Each structure stands twice: as structure tokens, then as C-alpha cells.
Amino acid sequence: MKVEFKSHILKCKDCADTVVKKAASIEGISNTQLDISNGYLILDCISHNALISLEMSLAEIGHPIKGFPVKNNEINDSETELI
């Protein structure tokens, strides 16, 4: 399933690179992409467990996910963001 996260941090290139590398290293996460101009991290995941691993891994490096990802490109900025 395709998942998108909104983030203000992803407009910083170093932070964005760190998040993308960490996300790409997680089993079950693939096709990690950035839309820097709009501040979105877009990725494919194979399971809920992969999303939980992503959430925990990003929190460990100081980029926790706030809210839940929205599927199918239906972004709700008030509910989903990396902080």
C-alpha cells in the first residue's frame, strides 16, 4: 500500500536524506520518495508491522511520526505529519 506522511522537517535536505535512508532500510518498506516542495515522504509498505517499525525507527533518530498515514494519496495535514 502507498503511504504518505506530511512533514515540515523534510524541507531540510539533511533531515530529509536521513529520514529516507532510515525508511529505506526497514524491511517491508520500499519505493521511498520525497516531495520536498510539498513536504511529503511517500513510500510503499507491505504491512502494518512495517509501519510500526518505521514509526519506531524514525522516533529513535529524532523524527517521530505524529498521527497516522493516509492511504491512496488522500492527505489530511491535520492528522498526519512527521515532527
10 or 30, which is more confident: 30
Residues contacting residue 72 through CB under 8 Å, at least 6 positions apart: 2
Question: Nine-digit cell at 42?
Answer: 511517500
Q: Residue 49 sits in a domain of what CATH number?
A: 3.30.70.100
| Percent of the chain whose predicted confidence (pLDDT) is above 70 | 72
pLDDT band at 78 (very low <50, low <70, confident <90, very high): very low
Q: What is the pLDDT of residue 63?
A: 81
Question: pTM for this one?
Answer: 0.71
Q: Is residue 35 part of a domain?
A: yes
Q: Is residue 20 part of a domain?
A: yes
Quick one: average pLDDT of 26-50? 87
Residue 51: CB atoms within 10 Å: 20
pLDDT band at 83 (very low <50, low <70, confident <90, very high): very low
Q: Is residue 70 part of a domain?
A: no
Total tally of structural domains belonging to the chain: 1
Domain residue limits at 17: 2-64
